[in-house]
Structure 1
Amino acid sequence: MVLKGIDLLPPVVSTKQALSLYKKVAQIKTSIGKLNSELDHSIVNDQLIQILSLRESVQSTRIEGTQVTFADMIDEATKKNKSSEVTEVENYQKALARGIERIHNGYPISTRLILELHKILMENETRGTTSSSGEFRKIQNFIGPTGRIEDAVYIPVDANLIGNYMTNWEYYVNSTTHSSFNKEIDENTQHLLDENTDPLIKTAILHAQFESIHPFLDGNGRLGRILIVLSTMQDGLIEKPVFFVSEELEKERIRYYNKLNGVRGEDPEWFEWIDFFLDACQRMSDNMLNKLENINDLATHGLKSINREGHINNIWFSTFNQPFVTVQEVATKLNISVATARKGLNTLADLKLLDFDKSKTKNRVYVNYDLINLL
């Protein structure tokens, strides 16, 4: 049986299911509180944001079948002609950065922002470039194992209904009442997860709903996962843009898609999806805390090994922002001479804090492999 379409928001769950979800949310928020505290006290706080966003960019694109890895990003860091998959990761990172910038500047999550980010995702001749970049689809699309609609697993809403569904979605995301929210429920046995529901639950809902509306011909998955990060920032769930759950979703890719399919059609299973998403968030928070602790230990170890004042400390910290760098990149980023950058990087390599390909004499890429392993 082919699933078709999706109900407008907000979704309904049983009262018992709602209590279970809110109990799980309380546990996750304890971990998120610790994560916020750890980020505040990290000596490499600012440097980590970019590298964690790169990690998210790699994992999110891998969910959709690309094979790009951190190693690929290192190998192609200095190349002018990069593979389409590496370019796709870079596009994702640019779109994520633009979205974070917009939210920081007080922009709401809106159709206008979504179209802007989609255009960035589709740049530079990557997968889906020709699929109406920055525009909602004007034709029917479908999700399935082949290019034939007859084999579809899910058929999203008609193109002419996208505007109505996205309006409903946008009001819900921004916690603003809308006439389309009116639903009759049995208050004794049912619970409406309305626009004022817990931000973590709402993030789960807005992601699944966006994926199910499937407003673009391509790029819906990647953009939908960017919206997870932006939503947690907009709702103040986490202070830094590090709510990167794609790694956990990628580990259970088949289950992820199955649970998303579950909210579609005439009998949506919203509890099953939200419960799955919250479990992924719990694992992400716990893993992120562990990573931050280990990364801080690595940074401190490096400072002790350096054991001196000067630019070299800033050069060391810069590798936590970008774990594969060239002399010129460090010189430009830190506003120091090329000679100073080269000397500092070579010193860090002598201390075995960084590595580089010793067969190369030009355009050397210095790599912080210890950081990459921790990530």
Structure 2
Amino acid sequence: MQESRSGHFVHQKGGYNAFIPRSLPPDPPIVYDETLQYLLSEADRALARLDGMAVTLPNPDLFIAMYMKKEALLSSQIEGTEASLKGVLEFEANLKPTENINDLREVVNYLRAMDSGLERLKSAPISLDLVRDIHCILIKGTRGSDREPGNFRTVQNYIARSGATSIRDAVFVPPPPERVEALMKDLEAFILAKGSVPPLIKIALIHAQFETIHPFLDGNGRMGRLLITFYLCWKGILAKPLLYLSIYFKRHREEYYRTLNEVWTDGAWEAWLRFFLQGVIEVSNESIASAREIIQLKDGVVDTLLKHEIGGANAVKLVYALFDEPIITTREAAEVLGVSGPTAYQLIGRLEDIGILKEITGGRRYKKYMFADYVSIIERGTRPGPGN
């Protein structure tokens, strides 16, 4: 069939057309018109502001840990899970889950996969071995665990439209399985190659190519989104893993799939790059705004403690601990502060009275309390559903 700038469709014996992508970078090369140049400049600036904002937070690592939870949640929601941030926090706090345990496990696996990948990238480059190992962590023990975790597929897969029952009704059919290994090696070579392609352009191309190859039987979307964070941190574009585009992809799901489809059918790389860069700008600015809210929340909470003459240094120390673990028990508070149980119980009671903490276990024994104002900032846009 006719070759486009991005690849070509090949008719298969089963009566469907599978897409074979061309090597990156695109040829003819990307056309950097005025709009694309502007978006690239704005995206670079927004990302730099986000990276710089982290140092002004009460504890940047704690902020990042919560944002990683948000990304894990949203990336899993795109694939159909119904977990919430509150549910994930309760699961981590060893509360009896009120949500689907399989959904929660998928989110927790995503967090483990991200942690493992970022740790490995401190001493090694992105590689196919890393991709396979991270995919195994991502999928193992979940509903996709019977679909060869960590192994490139050996059968044909496809992206189905709603109600489709046959591959011939698919929205998109990735390359045949016998082509996957070579295509992934080709993508690895592009990732590792030195050159003049701007980093944000390069990771946009990498993400699209990975989704085009669809090398695994399950988890391709989540793995492809993880690659964005991995690449930006590995290349030093971000000192901390702060940019997560799942909220943008979820919010603009139809446009996400449409622009990818136009890459496959028309070689419309520039349209995809404009969409991707707009996401970097949008998400960076929203994350900066959230970081500022957290700083204001910290200052406001400390002012509230002073106003009510609560607890001195111990109260401030406990509040700072809540930015790390926003669900806490009296015993945990006592351990954090190095005080007796009754002292911690009294302090938590005062924080509950003035609205800093909210009891979430229904008045039972072994009560747990949530730092609700902090959680509400992080959880924006994470309600299950297509555009929430």
**TM-score category (smaller protein):** 0.7 to 0.9
- Would the alpha carbon gap of residues 357 and 142 (structure 1) be closer, same or farther in structure 2, given more than 3 Å must change? closer
Asked whether 1:121 is paired with 2:138, we answer: yes
The separation in 1 between residues aligned to 2:331 and 2:196, in whole angstroms, is 49
The residue aligned with 1:301 is 300
Q: Deviations over 1:243-270 (max 9, x none)?
A: 11111111011111121222225x4211
Q: How does 1:224-303 map to 2 (within 5 A)?
A: 224-264=224-264, 267-303=266-302
Correspondent of 1:52 among 53, 56, 67: 67
Give the secondary-structure state (helix, strand or coil) at the position aligned to 1:119.
helix
Correspondent of 2:48 among 3, 15, 33: 33
The separation in 2 between residues aligned to 1:57 and 1:254, in whole angstroms, is 20
Structure 2 unaligned spans of 5+: 1-15, 379-388
Asked whether 1:10 is paired with 2:25, we answer: yes
The separation in 2 between residues aligned to 1:234 and 1:34, in whole angstroms, is 19
Q: How does 1:164-179 map to 2 (within 5 A)?
A: 164-176=182-194
The separation in 2 between residues aligned to 1:115 and 1:344, in whole angstroms, is 48
- Would the alpha carbon gap of residues 328 and 227 (structure 1) be closer, same or farther in structure 2, given more than 3 Å must change? farther
The residue aligned with 1:315 is 318
- Structure 1 window deviating more from structure 2 (323-332 vs 88-97): it is 323-332
How far is the alpha carbon of 1:165 from its aligned partner?
A: 1.1
The residue aligned with 2:202 is 202
Give the secondary-structure state (helix, strand or coil) at the position aligned to 1:4.
strand
The separation in 2 between residues aligned to 1:147 and 1:337, in whole angstroms, is 62
How far is the alpha carbon of 1:328 from its aligned partner?
A: 4.8
- Would the alpha carbon gap of residues 327 and 224 (structure 1) be closer, same or farther in structure 2, given more than 3 Å must change? farther
The residue aligned with 1:111 is 128
Structure 1 unaligned spans of 5+: 177-194
How far is the alpha carbon of 1:109 from its aligned partner?
A: 1.1
The separation in 2 between residues aligned to 1:222 and 1:160, in whole angstroms, is 23
How far is the alpha carbon of 1:338 from its aligned partner?
A: 6.9
Correspondent of 2:356 among 353, 359, 362: 353
Q: Which amino acid aligns with 2:150?
A: G
Q: CA RMSD in A?
A: 2.3
Asked whether 1:153 is paired with 2:168, we answer: no
- Would the alpha carbon gap of residues 22 and 85 (structure 1) be closer, same or farther in structure 2, given more than 3 Å must change? same
How far is the alpha carbon of 1:14 from its aligned partner?
A: 5.9
Report percent identity of matched pairs. 29
Q: Deviations over 1:16-47 (max 9, x none)?
A: 44554233111122222222221112223121
| 8 Å CA contact 1:6, 1:263 repeated in 2 | no
| 8 Å CA contact 1:324, 1:366 repeated in 2 | yes
The separation in 2 between residues aligned to 1:209 and 1:199, in whole angstroms, is 15
How far is the alpha carbon of 1:197 from its aligned partner?
A: 0.6
The separation in 2 between residues aligned to 1:369 and 1:12, in whole angstroms, is 51
| 8 Å CA contact 1:327, 1:345 repeated in 2 | yes
Number of matched pairs: 353
How far is the alpha carbon of 1:156 from its aligned partner?
A: 0.9
Length-normalised TM-score, structure 1: 0.86
The separation in 1 between residues aligned to 2:128 and 2:95, in whole angstroms, is 35
Give the secondary-structure state (helix, strand or coil) at the position aligned to 1:310.
helix
| 8 Å CA contact 1:165, 1:213 repeated in 2 | yes
Q: Which amino acid aligns with 1:273?
A: W
Give the secondary-structure state (helix, strand or coil) at the position aligned to 2:25.
coil
- Structure 1 window deviating more from structure 2 (245-254 vs 307-316): it is 307-316
| 8 Å CA contact 1:96, 1:226 repeated in 2 | yes
| 8 Å CA contact 1:13, 1:271 repeated in 2 | no
Give the secondary-structure state (helix, strand or coil) at the position aligned to 1:352.
coil
